[in-house]
Amino acid sequence: MSKRDYYEVLAVSKNATEKEVKKAYKRLAMKYHPDRTQGDKAKEELFKEVKEAYEILNDEKKRGAYDQYGHAAFEQGQGGGGHGGFGGGSFDDIFGDIFGGGGRGRGGQSHARRGSDLRYNLDLSLEDAVKGKTLEIKVPTYVSCDPCDGSGAKKGTSAKTCSTCHGHGQVQMRQGLFAVQQTCPTCSGKGKVISDPCPICRGHGRVEKTKTLSVKIPPGVDTGDRIRLSGEGEAGEHGAPAGDLYVQANVKDHAIFVRDENNLYCEVPISFTTAALGGDIEVPTLAGKVKLKVPKETQTGKMFRLRGKGVKSVRSSFTGDLMCKVVLETPVNLSGDQADLLRQLEEKMGKSSSKHRPKETGFFEGVKNFFDDLKS
């Protein structure tokens, strides 16, 4: 662990107040937290260094020892009440204060808990889900109280160390031979007492508000996918860090297309003439119309694959296909002349029906053979 001056690490003066130390810590911890730095080991080490500096400078006794003896006050075998160095803590302990970990901090003192995570259900059109879009959403939540900067104490005042538990948040009750540790009844485990609460938040350090947030929807999202907005959940009480907001996508049904993972499916009606003689038809895609060549003698239900006309995966560069199912549309509302023409066509094909309608001929021959077998 680096041995830079703790005041330099947090970029505060040696006369910085507890409030200034806490504010500097929150800003740097959010900047270097691993959830935001995508596995950057150098920034992870900076996060640990910031956490170490905060653990010392935010504790009155440890800060006094550090001001007098420097880093030596916390090395093995030195003064400082057997602190034994920062490195002995677990990785969860390092993250605990600001991102909702262990819930206990310096010297066994309890801390205000991290704010709750929130979920926002976002309905998307298929077009927006496939192409991606930046949208604004309104989220009712708790935010840090501005007048008291989240402390819960009236502006110009600060919370005092609890006289019952002396800042530890817990007290011991002796029952015969046993000593039972309980949450301090005076400060409810916070370690501090607000004698003059903020009139706006009434001492909670947070207020209700509807936030307007901008959400970037990546191309290719599907129903059930979640987008995490770190720190945009509920603010914690008394200056504790905010939780996260999870925006969950719900892609609405489309009038033309049905999505199956990265593929799209649609049905395209074709005329009797096109199915029999073949021809070019226009089919829809999410990028516009394209031409599809229908070969002659195409049967209803035939599936055509248009490669690369589906959805690009949100997790890779792979793009699915568009599957077009052609459906033969039977002519309706025929005039007398049109009906006569169809009858003439039927009569001309009737003499050689097995040639022009092999499936129909084969089906009825199979039915005839079936009943003949039953009779024999």
Q: Does residue 171 fall inside a structural domain?
A: no
- Same-domain check for residues 154 and 66: no
- Helix segments in the chain, DSSP class H: 6-10, 18-32, 34-37, 41-57, 60-69, 91-99, 126-131, 272-277, 336-350, 353-356, 358-375
Q: Does residue 177 fall inside a structural domain?
A: no
Specify the pLDDT at position 84.
Answer: 34
Beta strands in the chain (DSSP E): 118-124, 133-144, 160-161, 170-175, 178-183, 192-193, 206-217, 226-229, 245-251, 258-260, 263-270, 279-285, 288-294, 303-306, 322-328
Specify the pLDDT at position 5.
Answer: 87
Tell which of 87, 108, 129 closes a domain. Answer: 108
- Same-domain check for residues 154 and 227: yes
- Burial label, 302 (beta-carbon count in 10 A; 0-12, 13-18, 19+): middle
- Same-domain check for residues 215 and 270: no
Q: Does residue 187 fall inside a structural domain?
A: no
Tell which of 251, 276, 293 closes a domain. Answer: 251
- Same-domain check for residues 138 and 50: no
SS3 label, residue 9: helix
Residue 11, domain CATH: 1.10.287.110
Tell which of 70, 85, 108 closes a domain. Answer: 108
- Same-domain check for residues 84 and 35: yes
Specify the pLDDT at position 101.
Answer: 39
Structure tokens at 269: 């009606």
Specify the pLDDT at position 103.
Answer: 42
How far is residue 349 from each of residues 197, 271, 355, 364, measured CA to CA in Å? 94, 19, 8, 17
- Same-domain check for residues 206 and 320: no
Q: Does residue 178 fall inside a structural domain?
A: no
Q: Does residue 242 fall inside a structural domain?
A: yes
Do residues 313 and 220 lie in contact, with contact meaning Cβ atoms separated by under 8 Å? yes
207-223 confidence digits (pLDDT tens)? 999 999 999 999 999 98
Q: Which domain holds residue 12?
A: 6-108
CA distance 60 to 104: 17
Q: Does residue 217 fall inside a structural domain?
A: yes
- Same-domain check for residues 288 and 215: no
- Same-domain check for residues 148 and 237: yes
Do residues 354 and 330 lie in contact, with contact meaning Cβ atoms separated by under 8 Å? no
296-327 confidence digits (pLDDT tens)? 888 889 999 999 999 988 888 889 999 999 98
Radius of gyration of the chain (CA): 36
- Same-domain check for residues 204 and 237: yes
- Same-domain check for residues 292 and 310: yes
- Same-domain check for residues 30 and 153: no
Give the count of beta carbons closer than 10 Å to the beta carbon of residue 295: 11
Residue 199, domain CATH: 2.60.260.20
Specify the pLDDT at position 264.
Answer: 93
pLDDT by residue, tens only, the chain of 376 residues: 447 889 888 998 888 888 888 888 888 888 887 777 777 888 888 888 888 889 889 888 888 888 877 777 776 433 333 333 333 333 333 333 333 333 444 344 344 678 889 999 999 999 999 999 999 999 999 999 999 988 888 888 888 888 888 888 888 776 666 677 888 888 888 888 888 999 999 888 899 999 999 999 999 999 889 999 988 999 988 788 889 999 999 999 999 999 988 999 999 998 888 888 888 988 988 888 899 999 988 888 999 999 999 998 888 888 999 999 998 888 888 888 888 888 887 777 766 555 555 565 555 566 566 566 666 6
Q: Does residue 174 fall inside a structural domain?
A: no
Q: Does residue 201 fall inside a structural domain?
A: yes
- Same-domain check for residues 102 and 134: no
Specify the pLDDT at position 77.
Answer: 39
Q: Structurally, how many domains does the chain consist of?
A: 4
Specify the pLDDT at position 83.
Answer: 36
